[in-house]
């Protein structure tokens, strides 16, 4: 992966054994913000995003939009994009290779400029992560796509609405198709579309910009292309929702460490599968069942009960992004636990690092058995974003001091994990 953007933290130092108590606000969602920022390219006026997380991947997306000729400015958590003057259809490899979401600019550029040149995206190394479904969707919409080495060259003089059936649920390919369909003539029907809350937020954002989208949150989405021409409000204001994976990370940390925490803006209705597992662990969890801001409250039980087998899957199933963090938590459970990873084929990389801390695991292809273990502090290395968060959790429950190196991976998705955890009473500092 190419290293770009703000990079403040080299490592994290954690003194384990603290109970977590207190109240925090959860940052805006990375995986909602990135496609919405990419979508701002579609519109001729200003897009203002509130609660945009200040993380490395957002920095990277800002850089990419600037390369296209957009004016981008940010102040704390407010990000503005002025895309009226954008005219470049070609993105430099050094930025694109830095993260997976940069590929979404392919569909957005085709919708805006009718042509695009972009290289293969980077991102966390958690599996092969092909983009065949992205390409399939764009070709169905009428794009001509040639691959030359690492370079994707796409042309679409006339994107046309069509019917696209996805063979598997893909968040990114669904978002790609939605973005390109916004610029197509006529109606596009997406079948077996991903229903993750981040896809829902992209649709809501586009709807607020005047695009007609039916079936938001359903597996069948209908997008009326170019519909914003008559309804575009001139300026779009949107608030990025709280990050459900960051919220889930802090809930599991509290469940593992003990204590009582309240996530002011936690969106419990998007987190049912995770909350159900947290309850199986023995924690008391309460949250509002509506979209209204109700927050999430968790009171941990002293001893963690091993839950039933957990299988990751597309929304509303248990999220793959929580899998590493759950695995670290389960070291503290009272018996063997089993996790099956069905989304990505290489998402157990963190296990060898947890073993350095005394963790006991057995991996068998996509199945992970976690055995009860007393973790001790060690020097470990993050290899990806959520695996890095799992090591931080392990550090919090371990005896003694843990050093998590390569902490820049964690900055890809957590705005300030040190600030948040210190507020909850953890003993954690960063080295830059
Ligand atoms: C998104 O990745 C998220 N990233 C991931 O979060 C998340 O783990 C994943 O969705 C699943 O929920 C962003 O939103 C930026 P997919 P994405 O396409 O879109 C296969 C994090 O930690 N596939 O839904 O890349 C793919 O290999 C990150 O925040 C194809 O075969 O995931 C996988 O097995 C990591 N061909 C499955 O689909 C394609 O063209 C689901 O992947 C595309 C995907």
Instruction: Note the pLDDT tens digit of each residue in 133-173.
Output: 999 999 999 999 999 888 899 999 999 999 999 999 999 99
**pLDDT tens digit sequence for 380-391:** 999 999 999 999
Binding site membership of 129 for ligand 1 (Cβ less than 6 Å) = yes
CA of 169 to the centre of ligand 1 (A): 9
Give the CB-side neighbour count of residue 67, counting CA atoms within 13 A: 21
pLDDT of 32 strictly over 50: yes
Residue the block writes with tokens 């130092």: 13
pLDDT of 334 strictly over 50: yes
- Do the strands 71-75 and 78-82 form a parallel or antiparallel pair, or are they unpaired? antiparallel
Give the mean model confidence (pLDDT) for residues 253-276: 96
| 4 pLDDT tier (thresholds 50, 70, 90) | very low
Give the mean model confidence (pLDDT) for residues 222-239: 91
Measured between alpha carbons, how far is 251 from 255 in angstroms, rounded to an integer?
6
**Neighbour tally for 265: CB within 10 Å:** 18
Sign of the C-alpha dihedral, residues 179, 180, 185, 190? negative
* Helices and strands counted in the chain (H then E): 15, 23
Measured between alpha carbons, how far is 251 from 265 in angstroms, rounded to an integer?
13
Please report, in angstroms and rounded to a whole number, the separation of the first and last CA atoms in the chain.
20
| 30 class by beta-carbon count within 10 Å (0-12 exposed, 13-18 middle, 19+ buried) | buried
Rg (CA), the chain: 21
Measured between alpha carbons, how far is 65 from 297 in angstroms, rounded to an integer?
38
Element spanning 205, H or E: helix 197-208
Per the structure block, which two tokens stand in for 411?
């900055």
pLDDT of 122 strictly over 50: yes
**Neighbour tally for 279: CB within 10 Å:** 16
pLDDT of 123 strictly over 80: no
**CA angle, 265 then 268 then 270, to 5°:** 110
| 247 pLDDT tier (thresholds 50, 70, 90) | very high
Decide which of 320 and 345 is more confident: 320
Binding site membership of 413 for ligand 1 (Cβ less than 6 Å) = yes
DSSP SS3 for 120: coil
CA of 305 to the centre of ligand 1 (A): 30
> What helix, strand, coil percent values describe the chain, rounded to 5?
35, 25, 40
In the prediction, which pLDDT does 411 show? 94
Measured between alpha carbons, how far is 375 from 399 in angstroms, rounded to an integer?
6
Binding site membership of 102 for ligand 1 (Cβ less than 6 Å) = no
In the prediction, which pLDDT does 293 show? 62
CA of 363 to the centre of ligand 1 (A): 22
What is the widest separation between alpha-carbon atoms in the chain? 62
Give the mean model confidence (pLDDT) for residues 108-133: 87
Per the structure block, which two tokens stand in for 272?
């049912």
Which atom of ligand 1 lies at the shortest distance from residue 99's CA?
15
Give the mean model confidence (pLDDT) for residues 205-223: 97
**CA angle, 7 then 8 then 13, to 5°:** 125
Give the mean model confidence (pLDDT) for residues 343-356: 95
Residues involved in catalysis: 124
Binding site membership of 182 for ligand 1 (Cβ less than 6 Å) = no
Give the CB-side neighbour count of residue 400, counting CA atoms within 13 A: 10
Average pLDDT, the chain: 94
| 124 pLDDT tier (thresholds 50, 70, 90) | low
Which atom of ligand 1 lies at the shortest distance from residue 101's CA?
15
CA nearest neighbour of 418 among 398, 389, 394: 389
The rounded percent of the chain whose pLDDT value lies above 70 is: 96
Which atom of ligand 1 lies at the shortest distance from residue 386's CA?
22
CA of 376 to the centre of ligand 1 (A): 33
In the prediction, which pLDDT does 57 show? 93
Binding site membership of 427 for ligand 1 (Cβ less than 6 Å) = no
Binding site membership of 316 for ligand 1 (Cβ less than 6 Å) = no
In the prediction, which pLDDT does 290 show? 56
Which atom of ligand 1 lies at the shortest distance from residue 171's CA?
24
Give the mean model confidence (pLDDT) for residues 171-193: 98
Per the structure block, which two tokens stand in for 32?
């909602």
Closest residue CA from atom 30 of ligand 1: 130
Measured between alpha carbons, how far is 157 from 378 in angstroms, rounded to an integer?
57
**Neighbour tally for 408: CB within 10 Å:** 19
CA of 400 to the centre of ligand 1 (A): 36
pLDDT of 228 strictly over 90: no
**pLDDT tens digit sequence for 34-82:** 999 999 999 999 999 999 999 999 999 999 999 999 999 999 999 999 9
**Neighbour tally for 303: CB within 10 Å:** 11
Task: Tell me the β-bridge partners of 185.
Answer: 160
In the prediction, which pLDDT does 2 show? 36
| 5 pLDDT tier (thresholds 50, 70, 90) | very low
| 128 pLDDT tier (thresholds 50, 70, 90) | confident
Beta strands in 376-415 (DSSP E): 379-381, 401-405
Per the structure block, which two tokens stand in for 236?
């779009």
Closest residue CA from atom 22 of ligand 1: 321
In the prediction, which pLDDT does 289 show? 57
């Amino acid at each position: 992966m190419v290293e770009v953007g703000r990079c403040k933290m080299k490592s994290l130092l954690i003194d384990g054994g603290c109970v977590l108590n207190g109240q925090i606000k959860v940052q805006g969602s990375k995986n909602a913000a990135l496609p919405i920022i990419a979508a701002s390219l579609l519109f001729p006026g200003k897009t203002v995003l509130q609660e945009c997380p200040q993380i490395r991947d957002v920095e990277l997306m800002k850089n990419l939009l600037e390369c296209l000729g957009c004016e981008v400015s940010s102040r704390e958590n407010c990000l503005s994009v002025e895309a009226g003057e954008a005219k470049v259809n070609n993105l430099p490899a050094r930025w694109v290779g830095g993260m997976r979401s940069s590929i979404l600019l392919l569909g957005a550029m085709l919708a805006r400029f009718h042509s695009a040149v972009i290289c293969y995206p980077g991102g966390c190394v958690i599996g092969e992560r092909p983009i065949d479904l992205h390409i399939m969707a764009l070709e169905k919409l009428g794009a001509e796509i040639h691959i030359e080495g690492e370079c994707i060259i796409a042309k679409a003089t006339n994107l046309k609405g069509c019917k696209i059936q996805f063979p598997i649920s893909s968040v990114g390919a669904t978002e790609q198709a939605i973005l390109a369909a916004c610029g197509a003539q006529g109606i596009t029907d997406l079948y077996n579309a991903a229903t993750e809350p981040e896809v829902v937020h992209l649709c809501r954002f586009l709807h607020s910009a005047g695009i007609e989208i039916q079936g938001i949150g359903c597996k069948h989405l209908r997008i009326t292309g170019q519909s914003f021409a008559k309804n575009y409000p001139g300026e779009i204001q949107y608030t990025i929702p709280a990050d459900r994976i960051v919220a889930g990370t802090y809930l599991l940390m509290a469940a593992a460490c003990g204590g009582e925490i309240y996530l002011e803006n936690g969106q419990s209705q998007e987190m049912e599968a995770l909350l159900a597992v947290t309850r199986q662990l023995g924690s008391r969890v309460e949250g509002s069942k509506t979209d209204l801001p109700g927050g999430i409250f968790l009171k941990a039980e002293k001893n963690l009960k091993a839950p039933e087998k957990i299988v990751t899957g597309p929304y509303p199933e248990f999220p793959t992004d929580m899998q590493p963090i759950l695995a670290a938590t389960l070291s503290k459970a009272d018996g063997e636990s089993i996790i099956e990873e069905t989304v990505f084929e290489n998402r157990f990389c963190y296990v060898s690092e947890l073993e350095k801390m005394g963790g006991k695991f057995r991996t068998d292809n996509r199945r992970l058995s976690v055995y009860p273990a007393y973790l001790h502090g060690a020097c470990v290395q993050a290899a990806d974003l959520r695996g890095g968060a799992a090591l931080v959790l392990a550090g919090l429950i371990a005896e003694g001091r843990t050093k998590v190196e390569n902490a820049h991976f964690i900055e890809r998705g957590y705005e300030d994990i040190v600030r948040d955890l210190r507020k909850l009473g953890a003993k954690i500092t960063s080295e830059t």
